[in-house]
Amino acid sequence: SLGRQDIFEPDEGPDWGPEEEMLTAKGRFEEKRLREPYSATEMGLIYVNPAGPGGVPDPKLSAQEIRFVFAKMGMDDQDTVALIAGGHAFGKCHGAAPEEFLGPDPSSSPIEQQGLGWKFNYKTGKGPHTFTSGFELAWSPTPTEFGIQYLRLLFQHEWEIETSPAGKPQWVAKDAPEIIPDAHDPHKRHKPRMLTADLALRFDEEYAKIARRFLEDPEGFERAFARAWFKLTHRDMGPKTCYIGPYVPKEEFVWQDPLPKRDYDLTDDGEAEELKERILTSGLSISQLVYTAWSSASSYRDSDRRGGANGARIRLYPMNQWEVNHPEDLKKIIEVYEKIQREFNEKQKGAGSGKRVSLADLIVLGGCAALERAASKAGMDLRVPFTPGRVDATEDQIEVGFYEAIEPFADGFRNYFRDPAAIDEGDIYTTPEYLLVDKAQLLKLTVPEMVVLIGGLRVLGAVYKYGKYGVLTKEPETLTNDFFGNLLDMDIEWRQADEHRYLFEGYERGSGALKWVATRVDLIIGHHDQLRAVAEVYACDDAKEMFLRDFVAAWDKVMNLDRFDLRTKG
């Protein structure tokens, strides 16, 4: 399908990892486990090291690494085997000579190369003298045709380790005839060869079952590869509504976060006001309403256009069990919303009206109503935009494995950090303030939007476990700019409050009285020069209206990040 966009500048937001050199993994692993939030096992690799973890040629360890990385992409074992076996039906690897003949990357190359790089200075540097990965092999005797030759060779032969001309570990079939055609000389043949990552499909028990099934059912293998390839090349495009052109398939897939078609009329402004009043008198607090709406909407990831408020997936497994979403409290909140939904829809049905309201809309509407109530407590008249039209996903429309894999371990907006013991101030990549930036870029936020949202969410009490950390106001659940004024108050001295330097306490300099408690995410707003500059603007006495306006605009942006239906309509 068509619908992808071209980007003409580098994306500086993603957290690529702590390494300063390509194809290294320094700081990426902790006790042999890949640290969150990373998915690639080495800097610069798309998937895994084909030579094995860290270059160690162990097929079973490679299988573990492959399974983890592909799961992060939403691929199950069948997808993974199909993609590897189907992809390696074609082509070859290039490693004609040691890497010492390889020139620098394009950016590091001499200016006269004009964007070219990786110049290989071994003989001709091309054709049979080419270097790319450093492995020298082809997988199939028919390397320009799709088929099961790769799988047949994988299971037909026994394999022994060898070293490529470039010095990389690879595997050659024992006692096998030379049946692999040379890519450049029609008179030459080679023995079958494989990568360590290839042998993972044979020596991992689950992968081997699938691979042998494909070997016995070539047509089934072809279908599985086609579906997995489509998934791989479309998984970051979002739901089907983002696809355009004549090639959009009729079938809808669970990894597209499908939603049911709306078969009812939408509420109007008057009914929205009626529902807001019902929500505000339901017994739920402002903090609960805001936290739930934010938790639902901020699950959106612009990297693959998945998550978000539409679908109300927060009420279904596994999102309803995410620690940061307060599972027990969330269950009670959803029950309240379901009661309001049921009563409203029954009333409309009884009146012969085709109007209905979804839980997804109610959750967002509840957050909007809470903001308006919190602003009125501050003496301000505020109208928060709300556009109905969200629908409720069903359980069979949830890709469980994917949402299990992306459960947050850090969310600075809600002041949540699962493991403070992991903080190492000498390694910024372990700190919650660094991870906040990664979260903000997934939500497409600018620096001012990130700052104003944190300040607003804090005074509303929309923090993990509804605690006191970061709630720098004497009037919680009141939408004011107090967070910024109290954070930047020079009469407050901040001191470390735990052994991990995650929690801090703010003491009044004169009396020594404890005034506030906060986290690193809160204090970074006053510490980092760019963030502090924004905070100082919002802290001003005459910035109250600007703060409200900017907070609501950023809030509305996040609530609608996944409303592709609105964008499609222009």
Q: Which of 407, 428, 405 is nearest to 418 (CA)?
A: 407
Q: What is the C-alpha separation between 154 and 92, in angstroms, rounded?
A: 15
Q: What is the pLDDT of residues 161-208, one digit of tens each?
A: 999 999 999 999 998 999 999 999 999 999 999 999 999 999 999 999
Tens-place pLDDT, residues 512-531: 999 999 999 999 999 999 99
Q: Is 206 inside a domain boundary?
A: yes
- 85: nearest Cα among 142, 143, 146, 151: 151
Phi, psi angles (nearest 5°) of residue 501: 60, 40
In DSSP terms, which residues pair with 377 in a beta bridge?
none
Residue 335 lies in a domain: no
Pick the range with the lowest mean pLDDT from 135-144, 419-428, 557-566: 419-428
Rounded Cα distance, 531 and 527, in Å? 8
> What are the residues whose beta carbons fall under 8 Å from the beta carbon of 276, sequence distance 6 or more?
365, 366, 368, 369, 372
Per-residue pLDDT tens digits for 482-517: 999 999 999 999 999 999 999 999 999 999 999 999
Number of domains in the chain: 2
Percentage of residues of the chain with pLDDT beyond 90: 87
Q: Is residue 17 part of a domain?
A: no
Using alpha carbons, select from 147, 139, 141 the residue that is nearest to residue 222: 147
Tell me, what CATH number does 459's domain have?
Answer: 1.10.420.10
Is 532 a residue whose pLDDT tops 50?
Answer: yes
**Domain final residue pick, 183, 201, 234:** 234
pLDDT of residue 297: 99
* Alpha carbons 340 and 346: distance in angstroms, whole number: 10
pLDDT digits (tens, 9 = 90+) for 301-349: 999 999 999 999 999 999 999 999 999 999 999 999 999 999 999 999 9
User: Residue 75 — very low, low, confident or very high, per pLDDT cuts 50/70/90?
Assistant: very high
- CA nearest neighbour of 360 among 551, 565, 568, 553: 565
| Residue 455 within any structural domain of the chain | yes
Residue with tokens 């079952």: 209
Share above pLDDT 70 across residues of the chain, in percent, rounded to a whole number: 98
* Angle of the 447-459 helix axis to the 520-527 helix axis, nearest 10: 130
- Given this model, what pLDDT does residue 5 score? 87
> Crossing angle for the helix pair 447-459 and 529-539, nearest 10 degrees?
60
pLDDT at 42: 81
Segments forming the whole domain that contains residue 499: 410-539
Average pLDDT for 231-238: 94
User: Hey, which residues does 301 pair with through a beta bridge?
Assistant: 306
Q: What are the start-end ranges of the E strands in 1-84?
A: 29-30, 33-34
Apex 536 CA angle, 533 and 541, nearest 5: 155
Residue 465 domain-assigned (yes or no) = yes
pLDDT beyond 90 at 472: yes
CB count within 10 Å of CB 387 equals: 15
Q: What's the pLDDT score for residue 35?
A: 73
**Residue 154 resides in a domain:** yes
Q: What is the pLDDT of residue 15?
A: 74
Report the DSSP pairing between strands 492-496 and 503-508: antiparallel
Choose one of 234, 265, 283: the last residue of a domain.
234
Within-domain flag for 392 = no
Summarize pLDDT for 115-130 with one digit per residue, the tens: 999 999 999 999 999 9
Question: Does some domain include residue 429?
Answer: yes
